[in-house]
Structures are given as C-alpha cells and as structure tokens.
Structure 1
Amino acid sequence: MTDQLAPGANPLTVVAVRSHRHRAPLLRPFITAARRTESVDYVVAEVELAGGTIGQGSAAETVAVTGESADTISRALDGPLRAAVEGVTDSVTGLSARVAAALEGATSAKAAMEVALHDAWARDAGRPLVELLGGRLDDGLMNDMTISLEDPEVMAQHAREAIGAGEQILKIKLGHDIALDRERLAAVVEAAPHARLRLDANQGWTPEQAIEIITGFTADGLPIDLVEQPVAAANIEGLARVTAAVELPIMADEAVWTADDARRLVDSGACDLLNIKLAKTGGLRGALEIAEVAHAAGVECMLGAMMEPRISITAAAHLAIAHPAITMIDLDPPAWFASDVPAGGYRQDGAWLRLTGGPGLGLEPLPADVDRAGGDR
C-alpha cells in the first residue's frame, strides 16, 4: 500500500491493554438464514501507548460465524492478546503480527485488538487512519441497507422505509425456502421498484437450487447487482458451478477468511467478487492482504460486517475508502442499534457513507459504563 505501512515505521510502545463488555438492544430483530439476533453483546478493547494516547477496537459476539462469545472474546483480549503486545515496543505492523500469532482462531477478538492498535497509531500521528492506509478523507462509498429474512409483507414494509430514508441499495436476506424466497423478492421489488438489489442467501441453497432461482431472477429482469454466498462455504466446487452457470455476479463471503482463501477462490474461478469482514480476517492487516490479492487479480471487493457496533464499522469504513479494490460496502449494522455510541467516526448522507475526520478512527472514547452487559443503560 504505502511506505507508511513499512515494518520499521513509527514504533509504538504499548503500556496497557484493557477491555470492557457491553450489550446493545436492536431496534428490531435481525434475521438471516443462519440466525436471529435481538441484542448484541460486544467487547471493547483499549490500547494505551506511552505518552497517554488510547486507541479502541471492538468485537461482537458471533458464535454462529466465528464461534466466539463475549466470554471467549474477553478471555482472549485479557489473556494471550494482552500478553502479546503489552509492554512491547514495535511498529504497528509488528504489533499486528504479534496479535495474529498469539492464538489460534479468535478472529473477532484479534480484530478488536488490532483495530485498537491502529486507532492508537493514527491518533498518535495526529491523522485519520484512512490517510495512513493510503486513502483520502474526503472520499466516500454508497452504503446499503439490509432487509432481514421475514415474511414478504414485512420485508416489503422495511424496504419502503429504507428507500424513504434515502437508501438506494437494498441487501435482501434469503435462503432455505425457494418458493418463499421468490415471494419475498417480488414483494420487495413491488415496494421499492427503483432500488438496486444485493441478494444474500447465507449459504441457504444447494448449487442446483441456486442455479435455478438465480436464472429465474435474471429471466425476470430484476435489478440485481450480485448474489452473495448462495451455497455452503465449504462447497467451493459447488460455488464454482453456480458462478459458471449464471449471468449475475456471485460473491464469496463465508468462504473467504484469509488471503490464501481469496487466492484459491480467484484462481479457480469460483466467484466473481469477494466480501471482506474484519471479524473474519482478524483485523485490518488480514483484510488488506485479501484486498491486495483481489486487486492483483482485477477482482472487486465488498467490505462487509457482522452485526457489529459503531467502532468496528468505522474501522471497516476507513479501510474500505482507502483501498482501490474495495468498491462496495455493507456497513449498515449501527442503524439497527437502539443506541448510537460512541459519537463520531462517520456520517450517513442519504445512501452515502462519509468519514467525519479527526485523528485515528475519529471516534469519541466509549465509556465502560455505556450499554453495560447484563445491566441498565
């Protein structure tokens, strides 16, 4: 990316690592083919540098995807991840490598620590993180709004509300029931006929079902931009069959966690697009590696997210705006939260997401007593 990412640049000394847990209710349930979520338990990581600069990152409980609960995230942050960086002087690249090597798995917890390190690094430099990643603060990307998996009439109402609020791209959750999926999509199209659509089956179809239903959508002339992870993540051969058989672009999500995954998918022609998520990659460095693989292959990427809080989403937005391979974002989770904390980071202008500036992530510190897990707000 840039010389600012060189291993020897800007050494940091980490003097303390802390974490605190939170719970945030959602405005309404978020439903996919894989799970139903009504509130989000998450953990905030804080990294303090010599001189007093503090950076923050976060990780949401995503048992169904990464296998991590709030308990395991807290244990990872307070145990091996803290031990990996506390008292260490190194570049942000070197510190990130220590985080990656500290334990197996725990990608969400690693992302929280690694984002906190990058926030502290950029704050210490007095610059927005996007600039240190090689991007421009003034750039932005068009966001989407997810319509979760419910009865057709409910999805139609949510689509109308989203378009009324200025959204232009709707991400439609589908999966499992082919006939009902057709009804759901028809209801959304009727409610929002001018919206662009992104479909996400969350691994809900077999390859044969995916080919049948996607071919039908194409024949109907529906305004669909892409179909995300139509088949099981492990079924790379099936994903490749779908990609070869349909006209619509196919995006891999659950199938891509690392740069090696990305390279295998791209080289085998198993998909047309990649969805990068910090909670899968273990943070910004792993995400950058995937984006570089995609960029070299001429493949476009989406920067997506789990149902994660504003800190995580802001970090993802900085990376997305910085990297040329990332042309799409799916960063609407904070719009689902009943509380919008911490302040700053980014703003949504209609369908457009834009960074607000300020050093690091541009966020205010999140107090430990806000949205406390197991207690009142």
Structure 2
Amino acid sequence: MIITDIRLAKLTVPLVTPFKTSLRTVTEIDDLVVVIHTDSGEVGYGSAPETPLITGDSHSSMIEVINKVFIPLLMGSNIENTWQIAAKLQQVIPCHNSAKAALEIALFDLYGQLHHLPLYQALLMTNSSKPLTSGCDEPMMLKTDITISMNDFDSMLADSNKAISQGFDVLKVKVGNNLNDDIKSVIRLYKAIGKNVDIRLDVNQAWTAQQTLHAAQCFIDNNVIIELIEQPVKADDISGLQYITERTEIPIMADESAFNLNQIKNLVEQKAADIINIKLMKTAGITQAVAIADYCESKNIPCMIGCMLEGSIAVAAAAHLALAKSRSITKIDLDGPSLGKYDPVTGGVCFDKSTIYLSNAAGLGITAIDGLIYL
C-alpha cells in the first residue's frame, strides 16, 4: 500500500450553541482535512482545527507546511512502515503539531486498513505480533463528558439541564472570567444539579495559584464535590501547579502545560499534577500520545483523552487511542462532534450524545464525508 496522492480540504459544521471559554468564543467546527490516497485504492483521513492561542497553528500555516514539507516527505511511502514514517514526520521540522497530527491520523487510518483491523486494535500491535482480533462484531463503547460553556448562570444551568436530559452524567464546566463570579456560579450549579452529575472545572489558565486554592477551599467548605480542576494557571507556571497540587484534595489536571513526553515527565517528577490531559493536536499525533499514555501507566498517573473544538475525524482517532490505552486513559472528554448541529462523517465511529460507539471496521472506518471543499 503505497502513498500516491495527498489532498487537502476544508470541512465546516455549525455549533448548536457558541463555544465560550476564557480564551475565545467560537460558533463553528472548522477543520482542515487531509486525504491520503494509495495505489491499492484505500483512502485515509485525518483532520485538525486551527487553535493559534493554544498550539500556535492556523489553517494557513498548516496548509503551507503540509504542501512544502510533509507531502514531499510522504509521497511514495509504504503504509507498512507507518511507525517509521511517523518518526520522520516528527523529526523533519519542529513544531507544527496540528499539521503533524492530521497527517498521522490519516496514516494510521490506512495502517488499520492495511491490517484489516480497527485502529484501536492496530495500535496494540507490535513489530513482532500478529494482527489481533476482537472475537466479536459488536461495537465498542465509550462515555464522554460534555462542555458547558462559560456564560451567565441561567444559561449555564439551562445548558447543564439539557445535557443531563440527553444522558450526559459528567459536565466539564468552563470558568475563568471572574474569580468570585466563578465560585458563586459553580456552587449554585452544584446545588442545582450536582447530585445528578459529576462536575469538572476547566479554568483555561485564568486563575493564579492562590486564587485556585481559595476557590478549591470555598468548594470544600460548601460541600461542593469537584471531580477535578483543569489547568488553573498559566501553561508555563509549573511551580504554581505544583503548589496547588500539594495543597488541595481536589485533583489537578495539566492540559496546556502538557504537550509532549518531556513536559509530562517533568510534571510527574515535580508532582505538579494529578492527571494528564492528552490531546492529539498537542502531541502532534498518535505516536507521541501512545508514548505519553504508556509512560503515565508506568507511573500510575491517570490520563484524560481530550480534544480541541474539532470534528469527528480527529475525535474518532482519539476515541480509538482511548480504547487502546484504556489502562491509563480513564477519563473521556471527546464531546467535539456532539457540539455540532450534525455529523458530516459516515461510518466508523458514531457519536450519539454521551455515548461513542466504535465499530470493528478497518482503520477509522470512514465511508463518506459530506461537505468537503477541496483546496
């Protein structure tokens, strides 16, 4: 299975409601899609959103580096050598994590198709192992949380109640606008719906270490149970993360501070986080994410699999990774496709509100994508 063509396209899906965090407001899922063709007729898909405030990647920068650097590197490669190809992809140029992620996803989609395995099983193969089989044709299943955007309290409560009515039992609540308002809103929200769901807080770097400890103590004093607090301080404030982690019983999760394996080793060694959030757009794709999950398993550090505001192509790959590395990835935050008004992707992974179904189709199992606009 030899790569003969690589094409780029755009895919846009409007959101049900605007996605609001302390960093940005977004009204649609806007993905750059990578389509890799082979000499034997198989097609592999990958995608990436633009997240310049987080990864530094825009679609224009991705398009340029893919066309000028990555396509010449990949053309003519044999999909049998996907792990080696991915290693070259990571080494040829620094940064450009989202572009690398989109390409790695498409490569591993083809790798699964080559071995007639769903991606999660293909990721469990070693160089010496025979292809694995699941023993059944029933789809595998994951349960995801859903994001409640930062908003006025009444809107957040309405969004939470709607999510609960749809079967979500874990809410990831965005905060970080004003500390006192954040605390009051979370306490009110918990008292209104906390018995029905678990609540995670995502601060998106908006608090200081002292503010985080103050908020955590307020929650404890008011008998508000918070499952975790995600990235409360600036990404480079590792000492702040360590200070918080040492002083509160609420688990602290690193997100923007945890892009690559070296950063995560540093966090673990300094005991600066209780949980690590793995996202394919941060890790530059599947290979680094696998390494991080394996390392965290060796250190008994639980992981969450997360996503940016991205569609079902990349999120499908993240779901397969979560299933393959379920011993370390114990928390699922893959609600991106559920936030869209529809899913333009047919086949493979089905995103049904809180439930994610993974079929045993080869690779990602994608059979069609509506609305692709080729560049």
Q: Partner residue of 2:281? A: 279
Residues in 2 aligned to 1:223 and 1:365: alpha-carbon distance in whole angstroms: 43
1:173 pairs with 2:162: no
Alignment correspondent of 1:212: 214
Which one-letter code corresponds to 2:12 in the other structure?
A: R
Cα deviations by residue, 1:74-104 (Å, 9 ceiling, x for unpaired): 2222221111111123611011112112322
> Does residue 108 of structure 2 align to residue 118 of structure 1?
yes
Alignment correspondent of 1:34: 23
Instruction: Name the CA distance, whole Å, in 1 between partners of 2:368 and 2:329.
Output: 28
Deviation of residue 349 (structure 1)? 5.7
Partner of 2:118: 128
3-state DSSP of counterpart to 1:224: coil
SS at match of 1:238: helix
Structure 2 counterpart of 1:50: 39
* Structure 1 partner of 2:128: none
| SS of corresponding position for 1:328 | strand
For 1:280, give the aligned amino acid. K
What SS is found at the alignment partner of 1:58? strand
State the partner residue of 1:149.
Answer: 150
The residue type equivalent to 1:285 in the other structure is: T
Q: Which residue of 1 aligns with 2:269?
A: 267
Which residue pairs with 2:301 in the alignment? 299
Aligned residue among 301, 321, 324 for 1:322 = 324
Q: How many residues align?
A: 361
Q: What letter corresponds to residue 130 of structure 1 in structure 2?
A: Y
Change (3 A) 1:349 1:15: closer
More moved, 163-172 vs 329-338: 329-338
Give the distance between the partners of 1:35 and 1:293, measured in 2 at CA.
32
Separation of aligned partners in 2, 1:88 and 1:373 = 23
Match of 2:170, as an amino acid?
Answer: I
Structure 1 residues 164-200: Cα deviation after superposition (integer angstroms, max 9, x where no partner)? 0011000000114111102221332244232101111
**Mapped contact 1:259–1:286 kept (Cα < 8 A):** yes
Q: Deviations over 1:16-71 (max 9, x none)?
A: 21111233221211001111111232211011223111100001111111111121
Contact preservation (8 Å) 2:143, 2:332: yes
Alignment check: 8 A CA contact 1:85 1:98 kept: no
Residue in 2 aligned with 1:341? Answer: 344
Q: 2: distance between equivalents of 1:149 and 1:301?
A: 24
In the alignment, residue 44 of structure 1 is paired with which amino acid? V
> Could you tell me whether the CA contact under 8 Å between 2:347 and 2:368 is conserved in 1?
no
> Residue 308 of structure 2 aligns to a residue in which SS?
coil
Within 1, Cα distance between the matches of 2:29 and 2:60? 13
Tell me the percent identity. 33
**Residues 1:97 and 2:87 are matched in the alignment:** yes
- Secondary structure at the aligned position of 1:316 is classed as helix
2:129 is aligned to none
Pair 1:373–1:227, CA change in 2 (3 A): farther
Residue 68 of structure 1 pairs with residue 57 of structure 2? yes
Q: Which structure 1 residue ranges, 5 or more long, are not aligned?
A: 1-11
Among residues 17, 23, 26, which one is paired with 2:12 in the alignment?
23
Separation in structure 2 between the aligned mates of residue 179 and residue 258 of structure 1, nearest angstrom: 33
Q: Determine the structure 1 residue equivalent to 2:291.
A: 289
Question: Contact (CA 8 Å) 1:45, 1:77: kept in 2 or not?
Answer: no
Contact 2:109 2:363 in 1 (8 A): yes
TM-score (norm 1): 0.91
Correspondence for 1:196? 198
Structure 1 residue 296: Cα displacement:
0.8
* Two-structure CA RMSD over aligned residues (Å): 1.8
Q: Is 185-194 or 169-178 further displaced after alignment? A: 185-194
Q: Which moved more, 1:137-146 or 1:148-157?
A: 137-146
Report if the CA contact (8 A) 1:21-1:70 is conserved.
Answer: no
Whether contact under 8 Å (1:92, 1:117) holds in the other structure is yes
- After alignment, is 232-241 or 350-359 more displaced? 350-359
CA contact (8 A) 2:115 2:122 kept: no
Partner SS state of residue 77, structure 1: helix
Aligned partners of 1:117, 1:346: CA distance in 2, in Å?
A: 17
| Letter paired with 1:253 | D
CA offsets, 1:145-167, max 9 Å, x none?
A: 11011111100000000000011
Q: Which amino acid aligns with 2:335?
A: D
Q: 1:366 to 1:103 in 2, by over 3 A?
A: farther
Local SS of the residue matching 1:158: helix
- For residue 364 of structure 1, report the CA deviation from its aligned partner: 2.1
SS in 1 for 2:180: helix
Give the whole-Å Cα distance in 2 for the aligned partners of 1:203 and 1:155: 20
Quote the Cα distance in structure 1 between the aligned partners of 2:42 and 2:114: 6
